[in-house]
Amino acid sequence: MNTNSNTTARVKLVRFKKNDNCVFSWLYVDDVFICYAFENLKLMFKAGSYHLFFTDSIHFKGKLWHIYVPGHTGIEIHPANAYTQLRGCVAPVSSIGVNGGNESRIALAALTKAIGNVTVSSIEVIESFQV
């Protein structure tokens, strides 16, 4: 986990399971598992490598992690407990359920702490669905 403000954190979102509504993932920082995450299946963005930056969120009235996905706007990592709360964004959670997860604010705080004092980083999104 990153504690040096002069380096970047390597964030990885590994999509491992999906159902009719959600895609579920593992979130890692510097190869250490931090929490689970989920996305709205119908609105998720493609797997790939993206810039990740910490900046103001108009919707949430505070600072959040934003994922720069070309052709999309407003892709954030923000608290949510149901897939209907997501419009292409990613919700970190402590545990997953059928259509979302639990303790999203706690998981977001853990993710932000793990990334550390960096303001710009990258996120690699990998699809590794299990049958």
Domain boundaries, the chain: 10-127
The predicted model scores a pTM of 0.90
Contacts for 97 with CB less than 8 Å, ≥ 6 apart: none
The dihedral sign for the CA sequence 46, 49, 51, 52: positive
Q: Region 7-18: what's the mean pLDDT?
A: 91
9, 124 in Cβ contact below 8 A? Answer: no
- Phi, psi (degrees; rounded to nearest 5) at 102: -130, 155
Give which of 125, 117, 123, 124 is closest to 2, Cα–Cα: 117
Under the banding of pLDDT at 50, 70 and 90, the label for residue 4 is: very low
The confidence score (pLDDT) of residue 9 equals 85
What is the number of helices (H) and of strands (E) in the chain?
1, 10
Q: What is the pLDDT of residue 13?
A: 98
pLDDT-derived band at 52, boundaries 50, 70, 90: very high
90 - beta bridge partners?
A: 77
Q: How many CB atoms lie within 10 A of CB 21?
A: 16
